[in-house]
Amino acid sequence: MSGDLLARLITAGTPADLVAEVAMALAQADAQARAGAEGLERRRQRDADRQQARRDRVRAEAEAQASRSVTPNHVTSRDVTVSAAPSPSPLSSPQTPQQTPHPHPHPEGYHVHARGLLARIVLGVIIDGCRAAAEGAAAASKRRWPKDMPPPAGVADDQWAGFIDHRKAKRNALTPRAYQLLVAKLAEHASDEWPPGRLVDLIVERGWLTFEPSWILNSTGPRNAQRPYYDRPSGAIESRRRFREQHDVEPAASYLDG
């Protein structure tokens, strides 16, 4: 039973450390259950031995009482009176054998079995939870895009799901032919600077339905990014710099030198 549960737990994708903890808990529960069962059997045997000893003692006392009730007298055969033997004790009657009472198990036995049952219940809950989570994740992934249009190579699931939602918002769902063209275009024009996932993000960011290579060249990227406004020279400062470089003289002082 434990091996089957552990196999189901591993199949459900449970982490290895959690599987090891559950296996150890099951082993401890089984060992405690076996120890409790052995102790219970020993207690039952002791109870049965005590019952048998008590029955033997009662039978011996009854036989001794019967032998003491007859006293020997030196009389003739005419004076001999035979007294009736006392009725045997119900305990010694073979017609009514005494049933050995069923000894009640010790409460520790219940606790051992309860712990083992609890461990199996907890393990079953963990397995069901892992299976439900895995099935839910798989179902969610299938619902995020058509089954025949998986994410292209180099595109993460979240990026592709965002692109599919973007096409739906544009009321221009991705058709099988459009999917094939887009996959081929991503494979052809992707580079280290523009990997497929980044191209898909750019399509969504710019509100496009697809992309063209010329659009990528005109897009702001790491190599052609514009400098921030605080890093751009003003027109007057740039003019003075060019004048100084061309004529090798300093222009007349102005308010800029202030």
Is residue 108 very low, low, confident or very high in pLDDT (cuts 50, 70, 90)? low
Output the pLDDT for position 10.
Answer: 76
d(CA 98, CA 109): 27
Output the pLDDT for position 228.
Answer: 44
- For the chain, domain boundaries: 2-69+87-141, 157-243
Output the pLDDT for position 224.
Answer: 43
Question: Which of 140, 145, 224 lies closest to 182, judged by CA?
Answer: 145
pLDDT digits (tens, 9 = 90+) for 165-182: 999 999 998 999 999 999
Helix (H, G, I), strand (E, B) or coil at 25: helix
d(CA 254, CA 240): 11
Q: Residue 121: pLDDT above 60?
A: yes
Output the pLDDT for position 35.
Answer: 84
- The answer to whether 185 touches 199, Cβ cutoff 8 Å, is no
Is residue 223 very low, low, confident or very high in pLDDT (cuts 50, 70, 90)? very low
Is residue 150 very low, low, confident or very high in pLDDT (cuts 50, 70, 90)? very high
Q: Residue 207: pLDDT above 60?
A: yes
Is residue 248 very low, low, confident or very high in pLDDT (cuts 50, 70, 90)? low
Structure tokens that stand for 28 in this block:
């401890």
Most confidently modeled of 44-48, 76-80, 101-105, 214-218? 44-48
Q: Residue 71: pLDDT above 70?
A: no
Output the pLDDT for position 70.
Answer: 55
Burial 15-37 (b: 16+ CB within 10 A, else e): eeeebeebbebbeebeebbeebe
d(CA 258, CA 250): 15
Output the pLDDT for position 157.
Answer: 94
Most confidently modeled of 7-21, 134-148, 193-207, 244-258? 193-207
- Cα dihedral sign for 245, 246, 251, 256? negative
- Of 88-97, 107-116, 198-207, 220-229, minimum mean pLDDT range: 220-229
d(CA 40, CA 105): 6
- What value does the mean pLDDT of the chain take? 75
Q: Residue 139: pLDDT above 80?
A: no
- Of 84-88, 131-135, 214-218, minimum mean pLDDT range: 84-88
Output the pLDDT for position 103.
Answer: 58
Structure tokens that stand for 203 in this block:
């399509």
Structure tokens that stand for 43 in this block:
């207690």
Output the pLDDT for position 78.
Answer: 54
